[in-house]
Amino acid sequence: MYLLNGESKHSIEFSDRGFQYGDGLFETIEIKNGSPLFLKQHLQRLLNGCQRLLIPLPDAELLRKEAYQLSKDSDHAILKLIITRGSGGRGYRQPNKIHPTRLLSLHPFPNYSENYNQQGISVRFCNHLLGLNPFLAGIKHMNRLEQILARAEWNSSEIQEGLMMDINRHVIEGTMSNLFVVKENILYTPLIEKCGVEGILRGILIGIANQNKIKVIKNNLSKEDVLTADELFITNSIIGIWPIKQLERQQFKIGLLTTKLQRLFSEIKQQEIKNAY
């Protein structure tokens, strides 16, 4: 089910700059009991991204209305929101008057195993390195070749995620998730200043940690830092929190801080499900 600028459609003009150049951004949102979860945070990130990409801000109230309209009959699904710079301009040059494209779409929720949440996942390091670009870092934009090439490195269903380093060999994130590292009861997560996506769940978890007096440090992390962690987990809006039980040949236990954060997040999510309705 697709809603393109308010109309039910299945395709987009070739001339749309989202297609020509990946000139846009997106949000992937969990729908539960007919409501898009953490929509406020997703819309805020989308608007921030538009601002940074010089795309005129879409009407947030309209996006909100359409998001609910598309979600209302779904028990559990995914809502994807796309904003592009629309059509026009010559080559890379944007048109003088920008008419952004607004696309909302509904997708089935992936059938991830419940085990991933409880017993953890197996993860590898990707060979593909993230380029550094402070101008684009943090934004969930539509230029995603790096993630696609990294995700293409493995096919085994035994491996659920790949961790990506940047060209300075700092570990930044998973191909589709943010990374958290626990060491001596301190929570570390990579800086998203030169590359990487600022995940919504990453932001929520940092907030939870702050409120619960769990020390959080955003920092540069080496492969060594990650491999010598006490606990490791990844996050995104769809999977929630997945503990890492294995990274390359290294085993990890699912520790107390990870399960505590899972519990605290689960409470916030239940609250969100209640309020979002």
User: Is 129 near its own copies (CB under 8 A)?
Assistant: yes
User: Is 217 near its own copies (CB under 8 A)?
Assistant: no
Answer whether 83's CB lies under 8 Å from 173's CB: no
Which of 9-17, 60-68, 200-208, 212-220 is the region at the interface with its own copies (rule: CB under 8 A)?
A: 9-17
Phi, psi (deg, nearest 5) at residue 107: -135, 150
Which residues, listed in sequence order, are joined to residue 102 by a DSSP beta bridge?
Answer: 83
Helix, strand, or coil here: 192? Answer: coil
- The type of residue at 233 is F
- The one catalytic residue among 27, 161, 173, 272: 173
| Distance from C-alpha of 269 to C-alpha of 277, rounded to nearest angstrom | 12
- The type of residue at 100 is P
Phi, psi (deg, nearest 5) at residue 81: -115, 130
Figure out which of the listed residues 145, 212, 263, 277 binds its own copies, where binding follows CB under 8 A.
145
Count other C-beta atoms under 10 Å from residue 122's C-beta.
16
| Distance from C-alpha of 232 to C-alpha of 255, rounded to nearest angstrom | 9
Write down the least CB distance from residue 104 to its own copies, Å: 10
Of residues 62 through 121, those in contact with its own copies by CB under 8 A are: 85, 90-94, 103, 105, 110
CB within 8 A of 86, min separation 6: which ones? 16, 17, 95, 98, 99, 100, 101
Write down the least CB distance from residue 184 to its own copies, Å: 33
User: Is 136 near its own copies (CB under 8 A)?
Assistant: yes
- The one catalytic residue among 140, 194, 245, 269: 140
* Of residues 2 and 125, the one with the C-beta less far from its own copies: 2
Token pair recorded at residue 157: 């269903």
Size of the residue set binding its own copies (CB under 8 A): 53
Figure out which of the listed residues 144, 183, 218, 260 binds its own copies, where binding follows CB under 8 A.
144
User: Is 16 near its own copies (CB under 8 A)?
Assistant: yes
Figure out which of the listed residues 141, 183, 218, 223 binds its own copies, where binding follows CB under 8 A.
141
- Catalytic residues, which ones? 28, 140, 173
Q: Which residues bind its own copies (CB under 8 A)?
A: 2, 4, 9-14, 16-23, 26, 53-54, 85, 90-94, 103, 105, 110, 128-136, 141-152, 167, 175-176, 195
